[in-house]
Amino acid sequence: MLRKSVAYLVAVIFMFSAAVLSAQQPNAEMQAVYQEYMSLNQELQAVQQQVFADPEVAELNDNFQKLLDEKIVEMDPEAEAILQQQDKVEKDFMTAVENEDQAKLQELQQQYQSLDNQLRPTVQEVLQMDIVKKEQMKLEEIVFAKMIEIEPGSQAKLERIQTLQMQLEQMMPAE
């Protein structure tokens, strides 16, 4: 199960990269906000990688992903094939990141987004299940606590990233 927060964070960063780069003539303000966003994301990604390297956190994350996948497939048996496709896209995505293959990254991001869109209604229902909410909250609390332990400024950085993300979304040209 590769669906870890680090992989998701990389996908989100790439998504904003593509959006900012595709914006016609991004202005200086947008570029500055984007650069700060990317810088903070890179810092937090490094902290998050350290957190997920902890065997306890890795086990909790794997167990949460197994629970999530199990509940998704229980709710929609056809979702199993989509989850398997997502795993493959994530592996390919990481390879493309290592190879700095921007064209492949964009293609994979679109594939992943399409798969994610297919699963979204089921995932939303599953995330409302009490057992899933409980396990998600437990995992998030532990990850957040460990991030603060490793880098005390993580909370402020996360809050700043949320603000910057909203600013970027507002600056994006309407399609």
Predicted TM-score (pTM) of this structure: 0.70
pLDDT score, position 124: 92
Mean of the pLDDT values across residues 159-170? 87
pLDDT score, position 174: 61
Q: φ and ψ at 16, to 5 degrees?
A: -70, -35
Q: What share of the chain is helix, strand, coil (3-state, %, to 5)?
A: 85, 0, 15
Exposure string over 8-47, b if 16+ CB within 10 A, otherwise e = ebbbebbebbebbeebeebeeebeebbeebbebbeebeeb
Mean of the pLDDT values across residues 122-126? 93
**Residue given tokens 């995932």 in the structure block:** 123
Mean of the pLDDT values across residues 4-23? 51
pLDDT score, position 2: 37
- Assess whether pLDDT exceeds 70 at residue 5: no
Mean of the pLDDT values across residues 13-17? 53
Domain count, the chain: 1
Q: What is the pLDDT of residues 42-89, one digit of tens each?
A: 899 899 999 999 999 999 999 999 999 999 999 999 999 999 998 898
Q: Residue 74 is part of which domain span? A: 5-171
Mean of the pLDDT values across residues 13-26? 54
Q: What is the pLDDT of residues 137-146, one digit of tens each?
A: 999 899 999 9
Percent of the chain residues topping a pLDDT of 70: 83
